[in-house]
Amino acid sequence: MTPKTQLTGASGPTTGASAPAAPGIDRVHGTIQRIAANVEQVLVGKPEVVRIALVTLLAEGHLLVEDVPGVGKTSLAKALARSIDCTVSRIQFTPDLLPSDITGVSIYNRQTENFEFRPGPVFANVVVGDEINRASPKTQSALLECMEEQQVTVDGDTYELGAPFMVIATQNPIEMEGTYALPEAQRDRFTARVSIGYPDRKAELAMVDEHSGHDPLGQLRPVADSAEVQELLRIVAGVHTSADVRRYAIDLVTATRELAELRLGASPRSTLQLLRAARAQAALAGRDFVVPDDLQAVSVPVLAHRLVLTSEARAARRSAPDLVRQLLERIPVPRGDTHDERG
């Protein structure tokens, strides 16, 4: 059996975990533990990746899974989608895919003499976009309004998407022939990016032993439903964030705009996403307030993919995740009480 996911952050349990939690936080922790155990039946030996995926879900965000072929990108997306009893759709992005293939199209009904809207696959609670960078920029842009405003506009009419709504997209950063790089505006709409990486020897042996005789995805059953997830989102949205923690987040994001190695720093949208992810991380740790450790645990996956390095930095083999880690070491951490301002 694979070990259970520890949902307390990359550096271990966060500070302040002994404080009493508000009603509902225990419910969040219990439900997410069940979803994590479900996903780990498919994605063996990657608890940190599972943690970020669940943080993104609770932050009401979208996840970009980027890595080489065969490491489980699509399996992660499908496993998370199947762990929740809600509507799920999968879109295979190809160069000939049209925007209407995603959002839907208005079709003329000869009997009623009116145009009727036929919803596309984006009208689902969880949308799995496989190899998103293989579609043209015009088709990729069809997701912009969906991801930011949870709605679709077709022929002047606006249609609301369901709740919860999450896009899990995958892309291969190595094989670039016939692909279109995601524009900065679209990358900025993904709350977090994860790279799965190769499993270690022990995890790969466990995967071979457990998966050789059956398809784990085919046997996966839901452990939560959409109504329960919506309740979890409501609880997480109420997690307290003190003024010191908010200022710490702003200091971190502002510092990315001042780095000489970057041509483009993090946007104001990333500040909001960083705080939402920190609330989710705090709830996973069993707290109803955010501490600086929560921000640190989600900063790299939330911020790194939004940064654009200069050509000199790329030539020097600098990386956006390393720059974020350096900022975390350099920016002063607030030391005051992070849960004394409730009201």
pLDDT of residue 119: 94
3-class DSSP assignment, residue 211: helix
pLDDT in tens, 73-118: 888 888 888 899 888 899 999 999 999 999 999 898 888 888 889 9
206 alpha carbon, distance to own chain's centre:
26
Q: What DSSP string runs through 63-125?
A: EEEE--TTSSHHHHHHHHHHTEES-EEEEE--TT--THHHHEEEEEETTTTEEEEEE-TTSSS
Which of 131, 134, 143, 127 lies closest to 66, judged by CA? 131
3-class DSSP assignment, residue 32: helix
The CA angle 7-242-25, to the nearest 5 degrees, is 35
3-class DSSP assignment, residue 129: strand
Task: Please identify which residue in the block is written with the tokens 């707290």.
Answer: 287
pLDDT in tens, 121-164: 999 998 999 999 999 988 998 898 999 999 999 888 899 998 89
pLDDT of residue 240: 94
pLDDT of residue 254: 96
Tokens of residue 27, six digits: 């419910």
Helices 73-82 and 25-40: crossing angle in degrees, nearest 10, is 130
Q: Are 144 and 186 in contact (CB under 8 A)?
A: yes
pLDDT of residue 16: 42
pLDDT of residue 336: 65
Q: Calculate the average pLDDT of the chain.
A: 86
CA 18 to CA 185: how far, in whole Å?
40
In this prediction, residue 339 has a pLDDT band, given cuts at 50, 70 and 90, of low
**Comparing 202 with 23, which gets the higher pLDDT?**
202
Domains and CATH numbers, the chain: 25-330 (3.40.50.300)
Average pLDDT over residues 25-45: 89
CA 257 to CA 231: how far, in whole Å?
36
Out of 68-72, 76-80, 130-134, 181-185, least confident range: 68-72
177 HSE (CA, 13 A, CB side): 0
For residue 275, which amino acid is it? Answer: L
Out of 1-10, 196-205, 250-259, 328-337, least confident range: 1-10
3-class DSSP assignment, residue 264: strand
Average pLDDT over residues 203-220: 77
Which of 11, 78, 10, 92 lies closest to 43, judged by CA? 78
pLDDT of residue 262: 92
Out of 8-12, 175-179, 251-255, 285-289, least confident range: 8-12
Q: Are 17 and 337 in contact (CB under 8 A)?
A: no
Task: Please identify which residue in the block is written with the tokens 């020897």.
Answer: 201
Percent of the residues in the chain that have a pLDDT greater than 90, as a whole number: 53
Q: Is 158 exposed, middle or buried (0-12, 13-18, 19+ CB in 10 A)?
A: exposed
- Strands 192-194, 224-225: parallel, antiparallel or unpaired by DSSP? unpaired
CA 242 to CA 248: how far, in whole Å?
10
Tokens of residue 264, six digits: 């483009």
Residue 212 pLDDT > 70: no
Residue 1 pLDDT > 70: no
pTM of the predicted protein model: 0.87
**Comparing 210 with 88, which gets the higher pLDDT?**
88
The dihedrals phi and psi of 234, each to the nearest 5 degrees, come to: -65, -40
13 HSE (CA, 13 A, CB side): 6
pLDDT of residue 204: 78
Residue 18 pLDDT > 50: no
